[in-house]
Amino acid sequence: MSSCFNGGAGWPEPVVRVQAVSDTCGDTVPDRYVKPPPERPSLSSDGSRGGLNNIPVVDLSMPDADATCRAVAAACKEWGFFQAVNHGVRPELLRAARVSWRGFFRQPAEVRERYANSPATYEGYGSRLGTAKGGPLDWGDYYFLHLLPAALKSHDKWPSVPPSLRETTEEYSEEVLGLARRVMRLLSSGLGLEAGRLQEAFGEGACMRVNFYPRCPQPELTLGVAAHSDPGGMTMLLVDDHVRGLQVRSPDGGWITVDPVPDAFIVNIGDQIQVLSNAVYKSVAHRVTVSSAEDRLSMAFFYNPRGDLPIAPMPELVTADRPALYPEMTFDEYRVFIRQRGLGGKAKAQLESLQATADKAATSCSGSPVVVAPPPGCPAADSSSS
The item of ligand OGA, Ni ion, none sharing an interface with residue 288, based on CB under 5 to 8 Å by kind, is ligand OGA
Instruction: Return the number of the residue (20 or 207) whose C-beta is nearest Ni ion.
Output: 207
Q: Residue 60 and residue 71: Cα distance in Å, rounded?
A: 10
Residue 108, SS3?
A: coil
Binding mask 325-364 for Ni ion (x = CB under 5 A): ----------------------------------------
Count CA atoms within 13 Å of residue 21 on its CB side. Answer: 25
Size of interface with ligand OGA, in residues (CB under 6 A): 13
User: What distance in Å separates the CA atoms of residue 262 and residue 259, rounded to the nearest whole number?
Assistant: 9
CB of 176 to ligand OGA, least distance (A): 14
Binding of ligand OGA at residue 211 (CB under 6 A)? yes
| 58 or 248: CB nearest ligand OGA | 248
Q: What burial letters (b/e) apply to 58-92, b meaning 16+ CB within 10 Å?
A: bebeeeeeeebbebbbebbbbbbbbbbeebebeee
Contact positions with ligand OGA (CB under 6 A) in 227-286: 230, 237, 239, 245-246, 286
Nearest distance, CB of residue 166 and ligand OGA, angstroms: 21
CA distance 98 to 147: 18
246 binds, among ligand OGA, Ni ion, none (CB under 5 to 8 A by kind): ligand OGA
Nearer to ligand OGA, 89 or 191 (CB): 89
Which residues in the 67-96 window bind ligand OGA by CB under 6 A?
none
Which one of the spans 105-113, 222-230, 277-285, 304-312 is the region binding Ni ion (CB under 5 A)? 222-230
Residue with Cβ nearer ligand OGA (210 or 361): 210
Please identify, using beta-carbon distances, which residue of 119 and 245 lies nearer to Ni ion: 245
148, β-bridge pairs: 206
Our finding on whether 230 is near Ni ion (CB under 5 A) is yes
Minimum distance from residue 106 beta carbon to ligand OGA (Å): 18
Residue nearest to ligand OGA (CB): 298
Contact pattern from residue 190 through residue 209 relative to ligand OGA, giving x for each residue in contact according to CB under 6 A and a dash for the rest: -------------------x
The interface partner of residue 245, options being Ni ion, ligand OGA, none and the CB cut-off 5 to 8 Å by kind, is: ligand OGA
Long-range contacts of 2-7 (CB under 8 A, 24+ apart): 3/109, 5/113, 5/116, 6/116, 7/116, 7/117, 7/118, 7/126, 7/127
Cα-to-chain-centroid distance, residue 42: 21
What's at 276, amino acid-wise?
L
Q: Under the criterion CB under 5 A, does residue 138 sit at the interface with Ni ion?
A: no
The helix/strand count (H/E) of the chain reads as: 9, 16
239, interface contact from ligand OGA, Ni ion, none, CB < 5-8 Å by kind: ligand OGA
State the Cα–Cα distance between residues 79 and 283, nearest whole angstrom: 9
Cβ atoms 211, 310 nearer than 8 A = no
User: Which residue, 258 or 280, has its beta carbon nearer to Ni ion?
Assistant: 258
Nearest residue relative to Ni ion (C-beta): 230
Of the candidates 18, 183, 216, 225, which one interacts with ligand OGA according to CB under 6 A?
Answer: 225
- By CB atoms closer than 10 A (0-12, 13-18, 19+), residue 218 is middle
Residue 347 in the binding site for ligand OGA (CB under 6 A): no
- Establish whether the linkage from the previous residue to 231 is cis, with ω within 30° of 0: no
Q: Is 120 exposed, middle or buried (0-12, 13-18, 19+ CB in 10 A)?
A: exposed
Residues found near Ni ion in the complex (CB under 5 A):
230, 384
Residues found near ligand OGA in the complex (CB under 6 A):
209, 211, 225, 230, 237, 239, 245-246, 286, 288, 298, 300, 384
